[in-house]
Amino acid sequence: MIAAATFDIWLLGNNEAYSNLLSHYLGRNPDYRLRRFSTVALALASAQEGEQPEAIIFDCGPAPDAAARRAVQQLRQLLPQAGLFLISSQADISTAVELVRQGASDYLVKDTTTPDRLWQLLAQACQPRATPPSPKGTCPEAASLLLGEHSSMQRVRELITKAARTLITVSITGETGTGKELVAQAIHAQSGRASQPFVAVNMAAIPRELLESELFGHEKGAFTGATARRVGHFEAANGGTLFLDEIGDLELPLQAKLLRVLQERVVTRVGGSKPVPFDVRLVVATHRDLAAEARAGRFREDLYYRLLGLPIELPPLRARGNDRLLLADYFVRNFSHANRLPIRSFEAEAKRRLLAYPFPGNVRELKAVVELAAVLADGAHIGAADLPPLQVPAAGRDSSIIPTATANGTMPSLREQTLAIMQHALLQTQGDVVAAAGRLRIGRSTMYRLLQSGHLRLPQD
């Protein structure tokens, strides 16, 4: 069994009653070592003496004043790797955005749910010290992708570092679930634009009639329902990074407009005439072979070469050998921390099953499998019986949605099978709800309702 690590968390603020509440709540995790500071100056002094907490919770009081803003900058300068979570009674979006840009990891408004949200955020910030350190600024999800000893992942990490040094366009390819968006986030986080916006757009999930408006914006009255001016994603990402996922799904007419925008570095909003300059670092991704698409005439060749830039190909999980065991341990530990479960290790037979299964859904599927196993397991270990049915797909057919008996011989309920089929349709359409509903011949409102209730989830790379 993996030994538990101890994580140092600092509580800053002079509201003794609220500090007592947070101390009592967070103190239920035996891995957390809490230390309280009544003033920011005392915390800064400890930091100058070399102390390094994993996370800092800063109670800014009724509203963050100028002193609180200075404190955020000083704490981030002295403790760049610590998660910095601000709490205040002021619910103001502009203030939150400003403080996050200055270095805060998150901004929480005080209410009854704040302790629970803090618990979730700390579970991500306080990663095991046994895990290789993440590159500067990398988000926890991207850190999970970067784990791995296989040579293919070492190459991916090298290319991410090289890409971050310049503003070259990056084109990411790989199967669904390999983590293309996480690579884009890692490039952004390691670049000189880390403090600027990162905007991700799934081209396949936006209805074709709205895509131009989403990318370039529109003016008031440009079309029915355009009741106000809207800034597009290119303008929203100005100064930062724009990630265009599933670029291969873009239709030819809009490909021509995108090419012109990239050449001229200006956008013209739908219904407008004034060119608006922008400055974005572009990262694109697709699961298609764009070279083959260009040869077939489905993708503009000139746009293909404009977007190619630095190519990064993500390997499927089945080609990464023992990396799936490293990732499985990581996901189980992270999930257990977030849900206050004991951290369990995998038994030998469970490891053999994980290594034998090809994981057609890649890292995303592995994460779902081991999190379910963490819930089902009892005792100190996760056994083979705790894993959901893992069946190798037969050649020529997709068996990922075929219901199979569980370990105790029972079959999934009809509702479980229905939800699995709907989730599979969302995966196959890259999160396009309209297309998934059409494929299943059901109303889109049904899928939207299940997404809103949490019974279904949109796939995310």
Residues 12 and 37 in one domain: yes
Residues 434 and 337 in one domain: no
Q: How many residues does the chain have?
A: 461
Whose tokens are 């670092």? That residue is 281
- In this structure, is residue 162 part of a structural domain? yes
Q: What is the CATH number of the domain that holds 339?
A: 1.10.8.60
Residues 104 and 26 in one domain: yes
428, 436 Cβ separation under 8 angstroms: yes
Note the pLDDT of residue 382: 93
Residues 357 and 275 in one domain: no
Note the pLDDT of residue 286: 92
Residue 126 has which token pair?
Answer: 């306080």
- In this structure, is residue 133 part of a structural domain? no
Q: What is the CATH number of the domain that holds 421?
A: 1.10.10
Mean pLDDT score of the chain, rounded to an integer? 81
- In this structure, is residue 1 part of a structural domain? no
Segment 273-311, tens digit of pLDDT: 888 999 999 999 998 889 999 999 999 999 999 999 999
Segment 328-360, tens digit of pLDDT: 988 888 888 878 888 889 999 999 999 999 998
- Residue numbers of the chain with a pLDDT score lower than 50: 1-4, 129-138, 140, 393-411
Residues 328 and 419 in one domain: no
- In this structure, is residue 458 part of a structural domain? yes
Residues 252 and 383 in one domain: no
Residues 190 and 291 in one domain: yes
139, 185 Cβ separation under 8 angstroms: yes
- In this structure, is residue 40 part of a structural domain? yes
Q: Would you say the pTM of this structure is higher than 0.85?
A: no
By residue range, what is the domain housing residue 453?
408-461
Determine the residue type at 386. D
CB count in 10 Å sphere of residue 142: 23
Note the pLDDT of residue 2: 35
Note the pLDDT of residue 394: 47
Residues 179 and 292 in one domain: yes
Query: Could you give the number of structural domains in the chain?
Result: 4
Determine the residue type at 178. T
